[in-house]
Amino acid sequence: MNNPGISNRLRKEMERFLTEPPSGISCCIRDSNISTLDANIIGPPGSPYEGGVFHLEVQLPREYPFQPPRVVFITPIYHPNIDEGGRICLDLLKLPPSGSWRCTTTIANVLIAVQCLLASPNPSDPLNPEIAALMQSDIKQFEKTAKEHTLKFCKVGSLSGAEANTQSSNHMPEKMDCD
């Protein structure tokens, strides 16, 4: 990303993110070209993802913030709005008129929206229709399967206890060194 305006915007976003981090979310620039971010989200309390630490990759387009980032789950997740490749069905990640992305939307806004999607899946707009159908027909079985999947693929606990590992089902500590 060579645009100084974009670099300045992202620097300000990351400074604010580090000084006022959203609860249960961590984020850090992966490399020197600042187009890739690593993020972790703790599964929300009361959800089948509760306590699981989910690693995501955020790819910023050259046109950011006028184009939305590409956000994918690296950690496998059993969710009606997230496919097997980790792609997320979320209006905030799409441009109008079908989506709600605005140039004032921040990376923190996006990650909070993803965390909210974990708390409240939307089976009426699925990327994974089979999981959505199960959620609608047998919520108990959906929750059981999602919990089992979370235990199988996630480190369960707090971000501060998670190991930094960006090669597989990546987890990072709550306070990340982004220098």
Residue 89 appears among annotated catalytic residues = yes
Cα–Cα distance between 92 and 34 in angstroms, integer? 21
For residues 94-103, average pLDDT: 95
pLDDT of the residue at 169: 33
Q: Does the pLDDT value for residue 88 go beyond 90?
A: yes
Is there a contact between 86 and 128 (Cβ–Cβ < 8 Å)? no
Q: Tell me: the pLDDT tens digits for 103-156?
A: 999 999 999 999 999 999 999 999 999 999 999 999 999 999 999 999 999 987
Local confidence band at 39 (pLDDT 50, 70, 90 cut-offs)? very high
Residue among 28, 89, 154, 178 flagged as catalytic: 89
The closest alpha carbon to 55, from 31, 79, 35, 39, belongs to: 39
